Amino acid sequence: MLGFRLSAQRPPAEHRRISDVVISRYEHVYEVDPRLMQEHVRQQSLPEWDFHRIIENRVEHLVWMQQHFADSVISGDDLIRELEQEGD
Angle of helix 48-56 relative to helix 58-69, nearest 10 degrees, comes to 50
Please state the pTM of the whole predicted model: 0.56
- Per this entry, what is the length of the chain? 88
Give pLDDT, residue 77: 92
pLDDT above 70: residue 51? yes
- CA 53 to chain centroid, in Å, comes to 12
Closest by CA position to 22, among listed 9, 12, 34, 14: 34
Q: If pLDDT is split at 50, 70 and 90, which confidence band does 2 have?
A: low
Q: CB within 8 A of 41, min separation 6: which ones?
A: none
pLDDT of 14-47, one tens digit each?
A: 899 999 999 999 888 898 888 888 878 887 777 7
Single-letter amino acid code for the residue at 2: L
